[in-house]
Amino acid sequence: MELKRYKEEITLYDTEGNPKSSWVEIRVDPLTGEVSRVINVPLREWSLPDLEAMARETRASCPFCPEHLENKTPKFAEALLPGGTLGRGGATLIPNLFPYDRYCALIILSKAHYVPLDAWKAREILDGLRLAQDFINRVSAYDTSVNAFALNWNYAPHSGSSILHPHIQLSVGAFASNRGRRMMTAAYDAMLEGKEPMTELLREERSRGERWCGRIGPWNLLFAFAPRGRFFEFILMHEATGCFPLLPEPDLKALSEGIVRGLRFVVTMGLSSMNLSLFSPLREEGIFHPMVSISPRACVGPHQMSDISFQMLIDEFFALFLPEEVASRFRKSREGA
């Protein structure tokens, strides 16, 4: 598989007429053909919120804390979920009060109001993933017309989360997310031509070793060649085609361990917020390799400038870190663990 990148060398001149060299590297996503740009911009200080202080300020009114959960949150119809909710370990699944698809749930991952990114345990993540799997399968049996699901996690304010208490957003309905649809359509179209682009990508990344960082169970750990987000994109990609709702327990356990490793790395990079998305078909097992993407978030400088700009309108991404350098740092962080 060809990993396409184009480096533009640029010469600028200061006020004295002295030349200054710069560059931009344009990279093409090997699965979708979308463009990302790695840009040569001096890193500014990014500002992190005081999440411990925020936790103290918001805990008393939090609807997801155990003392409020029963009387401040809604329930699903009995026909769908007897009792209206689901629970497993310290995690609880409830309806989303502001639905954006036919079936919308929130998975409250912990009874604790605030859990630092580097304090998560794989068992806690596993409980949430198993609840997600259970809900998706129940909805699919209850309503056979649904075609797709989405699992997303916004953690802390800079990620776009309005409630600090950790919770996953889960939906099941007629349409996949735009990115999920593009990736799965590309995989399906390639399959019709006798190609397996995700298998080829994993083979290529392992042989190069620049961005690939090993495996946990059947999950490959790597950094995206064409990253989305300002900092980096950490990916866990299953070795085989399949679909998340049917993954066995050992695969979910390994995925939980990989997610925890990714969250801890976000903290080693000096960040405290992130977005996580899981991509998978709802039912088809032979097309797509289930994958999870984690991208850290932060505001920049003293004026809380967002790390997302007009790029959201043009559907293109600018990254400040070379993926190969981030992958090297990830590998070194594991050696020192």
The b/e string for 144-180 (b: 16+ C-beta within 10 A; e otherwise) is eebebbbbbbbbbbbbebebbbbbbbbbbbeebeebb
User: pLDDT band at residue 298, thresholds of 50, 70 and 90?
Assistant: confident
Please write the tens of the pLDDT for every residue from 83-123.
999 999 999 999 999 999 999 999 999 999 999 999 999 99
**Average pLDDT over every residue of 226-255:** 96
**Angle at 172 (CA atoms; ends 146, 161), nearest 5 degrees:** 160
pLDDT at position 43 is 66
Please tell me the number of Cα atoms within 13 Å of 142 on its side-chain side. Answer: 17
Which tokens in the block code for residue 31? Answer: 């699965």
Domain 47-335 has CATH 3.30.428.10: yes
Arithmetic mean of pLDDT over the chain: 93
Please write the tens of the pLDDT for every residue from 14-23.
899 999 999 9
Contact predicate 255/263, CB 8 Å: no
pTM listed for this prediction: 0.95
Domain ranges of the chain: 47-335
Please write the tens of the pLDDT for every residue from 77-94.
999 999 999 999 999 999
User: pLDDT band at residue 335, thresholds of 50, 70 and 90?
Assistant: low
Please tell me whether residue 195 adopts helix, strand or coil conformation: coil
Locate tokens 């990079």: which residue? 269
